[in-house]
Amino acid sequence: MKKELMNLIIRYLILIIVAIPNLLIFYLVFKPLTIYPSFFFLNLLFDPILFGSTILINNVSIEIVNACVAGSAYYLLLILNLSTSKIKNRISAILFSFLVFLELNLLRIFILSLFLISESQWFAITHKFSWYFLSTIFVIGIWFLEVKLFKIKEIPFYSDIKYIYKNKK
């Protein structure tokens, strides 16, 4: 019982420590992992120029800002993974969720970039839709996939609260 309680404390301490610097760790890790592959994929079709976090193609500027990186989505995936106690391969599950989200996000950025470069009338609505809804749908879908693949039987937070209530003394 003490081991499970210590496990619970460590998991929630990690969540607090990661959140304290305003998700900075996610942006430090995932911003370059978003910018450079986006540049690479656009380089397959165009002749882009990269200036920091801005990709220039045919006088069209594509700036990859923190919102494009979606650090809060990575944090939500981390929360879901750390708020369940019995994931046998927790590190694998976290890495899986981050990798799948990164791939989906790169695809989203690539498609939006194509719309912007081609001056498509669909860019504005697609950008807004992806901004407000698509990242959330990605996170929910990834979590359900993780539950299935990693055989997660617990409910985030609820299972921990139930454990604490059951073992209070």
Q: Are strands 54-57 and 60-63 parallel, antiparallel or unpaired?
A: antiparallel
Predicted local distance difference test score (pLDDT) of residue 22: 79
Tokens describing residue 53 = 């976090």
- Give me the count of residues in the chain: 169
Beta bridge partners of 56: 49, 61
How confident is the model at residue 30, as a pLDDT?
Answer: 97
For the whole model, what pTM was predicted? 0.89
Statement: residue 140 has pLDDT above 80: yes
HSE-CB at 60 with a 13 A cutoff on CA atoms is 16
For residue 105, count CB atoms less than 10 angstroms from its CB and return exposed for 0-12, middle for 13-18, buried for 19 or more: buried
Contact 146, 84 (CB under 8 A): no
